[in-house]
Chains A and B, each alone.
Chain A
Amino acid sequence: MTRVRVTAPRSAARPVTDTREAAEESDAGQVFVRSLIRSQLRLALVVGGGFLLILCAFPLLLEAAPGLADTRVAGIPFDWLLLGAGIYPVMALSAWLFIRTAARNEARYRDLAEDK
């Protein structure tokens, strides 16, 4: 059997239409693009900053209330539970919020860009 190597097909997910790219490169199109990038960056910074604040608050909380670290929940020390397990739901929640809002920003951009 001979194998014939062909180049990979272009992904169907991005059928680049020339008219769309042209519209996006016009001055008006660029205004929408810039505002989309700004809102996505602001969103990323807010979510990332919020998460880091909570992350830093955990050890500070343990410092501030020394009794907490000695409390046990089902035999496991509370400081271990907080840092070893409690942080993960915070991460997942931040990620979920970000994805929802980022998709919403993109939908708004699409409406604006296509209504023009």
Chain B
Amino acid sequence: MNPAVSPAVGVAALAVVSLATAVIGFYGLRISRTTGDFYVASRTVRPWWNASAIGGEYLSAASFLGVAGLILLSGTDALWFPVGYTAGYLMLLLFVAAPLRRSGAYTIPDFTEARLDSRAVRRVTSLAVVVVGWLYIVPQLQGAALTIRITTGLPSWVGSVAVVVVVCLTVVAGGMRSITFVQAFQYWLKLTALAVPAVFIAFVLAGNGSPAIAPASINPTGLAPAGPYQNISLLVALLFGTLGLPHVLVRFYTNPDGQSARRTTLIVLGLLSVFYLLPTAYGLAARMFAPGLARSGQADAVVLLLPAQLIGGTAGDLLSALVVAGAFAAFLSTTSGLVVSLAGVISQDVLGGGVRGFRLAAVISVVVPLGFAFMTDSLALAGSVGLVFAFTASTVCPVLLLGIWWRGLTDAGAIAGMVTGGLLCGGAMIYSAALGGAGTPFWVAQPAAWTVPAAFAVMVLVSRATKGRVPKTMSRVMTRLHTPERPLVTDR
């Protein structure tokens, strides 16, 4: 297949983004010295920086490419994806942000161990976090492979390997401090990369008054529209899945205190809302002006292809280069965020902590998903990330929510609930992968609506049955989670 953009443009965009990422990473290295720096940036990052960094980290291949692709394919049904991705942060703000920051733990396993006073809970949580991280990195690498294939005509694996190499270099070099700068930069890069071509497209379409080829309500693929069950199940996965994403949660430890963790989340909500208007606009524009993209199986690449298709010429090439750069920023930022949080967990639990263990763990945490990405084929990106959210919502989310708000949670209950949720949701994912897209029953394809309540129910029932195991430290930990930090003298 001929590349849609001239190969030189794609390669140049990739090189510039990788170089900028590495330079900012090394700049961060100069001020990053201690173990604490490596993990959580010494907890002194300002809310705006932190919020940009969270936005940068969160907006993955699924958001940058997948959402517009799904909107092109399924129209208003797919609007639930950006809404859910953003509303997840509202849930995070309401139930998790401030207490988690006040817990003083570095990672999610640190939190569950401190709350439930149990090494076994720590190990199960670590396992869940590592599985979530690996599952989430795979679509990023697949997105990179797709982007490289479509824009430069190079073999797909070049894209995945390039992302892995750049991420390893920056994470191994600088840890979280430099990652914070890199991520913040990448949010604004991603926003610009979608916003500038969108403005151009809007001007061109309005200027030449070209009529829409198709109405917005067209169904370009002839697939059956999603029923209410699928939409509800998807929303459950996205709303509750965001709560448990390891790379998002680790960011909350970099806030100075609980109230600033809340303010950070509010800014994140704003940043995400602004961002998601753009993929929505691309999807709508593609539906009305280029519905042909849906039929050729290139829906996930619609954001990359639309500028060249609607504008063309040198301007189209330059705008495409910008979009490619933004796409790579998305793969790099999400992958490095996940790698940092996975490496934190793996190095503390398996390799005994320390900076060297962290570096080794970082390499491990990105090489394994690379293998998966080579073995599996890319599904619709937003859809496969939706499944990762379902898995997170069925494992990490219940233990966090009940741990923060319910005094009765016990270690036995937490383990039973996480194992139940993980087995049910993981089983559904494997089963639907084995059956392939069309043959899967709808309740297996979107499992969150029953696996999440099941995990919660098992966690509560087993905790009730093992009341004697409520840890002695419980009321001290609960006090710490929910009481405000002592204000500094200057605040009063």
Q: Select B478's contact among A37, A80, A84, A98, beta carbons within 8 Å.
A: A37
Q: Provide the residues of chain B in CB contact with A5, threshold 8 Å.
A: 33-35, 355
- Alpha-carbon distance A98/B42, docked complex (angstroms): 28
Q: Provide the residues of chain A in CB contact with B86, threshold 8 Å.
A: 88, 91
Q: How far is the CB of A53 from chain B (nearest CB, A)?
A: 13
Q: Select A13's contact among B43, B262, B280, beta carbons within 8 Å.
A: B43
B216 within 8 A of A: yes
Contact of B269 with A91 in the complex, beta carbons under 8 Å: yes
Contact of A76 with B273 in the complex, beta carbons under 8 Å: no
- Alpha-carbon distance A85/B479, docked complex (angstroms): 39
Q: Please report which residues of chain A, range 36-94, place their CB below 8 angstroms from some CB of chain B when the two chains form the complex.
A: 36-37, 40-41, 44, 47-48, 51, 55, 69, 76-77, 79-80, 83-85, 87-89, 91-92, 94
| Binary contact track A77-116/B, C-beta < 8 Å → 1, others 0 | 1011001110111011011101100110011011001000
Contact of A17 with B486 in the complex, beta carbons under 8 Å: yes
B405 within 8 A of A: yes
Q: How far is the CB of A17 from chain B (nearest CB, A)?
A: 7
Q: How far is the CB of A25 from chain B (nearest CB, A)?
A: 6
B482 within 8 A of A: yes
Contact of A8 with B484 in the complex, beta carbons under 8 Å: no
Q: Provide the residues of chain A in CB contact with B91, threshold 8 Å.
A: 48
Q: Provide the residues of chain A in CB contact with B95, threshold 8 Å.
A: 44, 48
Q: Select B94's contact among A6, A47, A84, A103, beta carbons within 8 Å.
A: A47
- Alpha-carbon distance A109/B485, docked complex (angstroms): 12
Q: How far is the CB of A21 from chain B (nearest CB, A)?
A: 7
B153 within 8 A of A: no
B363 within 8 A of A: no
Q: A3-B33, A8-B36, A14-B257 are in contact. Are A95 and B475 (CB under 8 A)?
A: no
Q: Provide the residues of chain B in CB contact with A36, threshold 8 Å.
A: 482-483
- Alpha-carbon distance A11/B104, docked complex (angstroms): 9
| Binary contact track B181-210/A, C-beta < 8 Å → 1, others 0 | 000000000000000000000000000000
- Alpha-carbon distance A36/B280, docked complex (angstroms): 40
Q: Select B263's contact among A3, A30, A47, A99, beta carbons within 8 Å.
A: A99
Contact of A48 with B94 in the complex, beta carbons under 8 Å: yes
Contact of A24 with B266 in the complex, beta carbons under 8 Å: no
B76 within 8 A of A: yes
Number of residues from B at the complex interface, CB < 8 A: 52
- Alpha-carbon distance A101/B375, docked complex (angstroms): 50
Contact of A84 with B33 in the complex, beta carbons under 8 Å: no
| Binary contact track A1-41/B, C-beta < 8 Å → 1, others 0 | 00101111101111101001100110001100100110011
Contact of A13 with B484 in the complex, beta carbons under 8 Å: no
Contact of A7 with B486 in the complex, beta carbons under 8 Å: no
Q: A5-B355, A80-B284, A92-B270 are in contact. Are A11 and B43 (CB under 8 A)?
A: yes
Q: How far is the CB of B280 from chain A (nearest CB, A)?
A: 4
What residue of chain A has the Cβ atom nearest to residue B265's Cβ?
A95
B4 within 8 A of A: no
- Alpha-carbon distance A30/B90, docked complex (angstroms): 29
Contact of A83 with B273 in the complex, beta carbons under 8 Å: no
Q: Please report which residues of chain B, range 268-315, place their CB below 8 angstroms from some CB of chain A when the two chains form the complex.
A: 269-270, 273, 276-277, 280, 284
Q: How far is the CB of A59 from chain B (nearest CB, A)?
A: 8
Contact of A103 with B259 in the complex, beta carbons under 8 Å: yes
- Alpha-carbon distance A45/B442, docked complex (angstroms): 30
B87 within 8 A of A: yes
What residue of chain A has the Cβ atom nearest to residue B255's Cβ?
A13
- Alpha-carbon distance A103/B487, docked complex (angstroms): 12
Q: Provide the residues of chain B in CB contact with A99, threshold 8 Å.
A: 93, 259, 262-263, 266
| Binary contact track B454-492/A, C-beta < 8 Å → 1, others 0 | 000000000000000000000110110011111110000
Of all A-B residue pairs in the complex, the 3 with the closest CB atoms, nearest first, are A8-B36, A88-B273, A44-B94
A residues lining the B interface (CB < 8 Å) = 3, 5-9, 11-15, 17, 20-21, 24-25, 29-30, 33, 36-37, 40-41, 44, 47-48, 51, 55, 69, 76-77, 79-80, 83-85, 87-89, 91-92, 94-96, 98-99, 102-103, 106-107, 109-110, 113
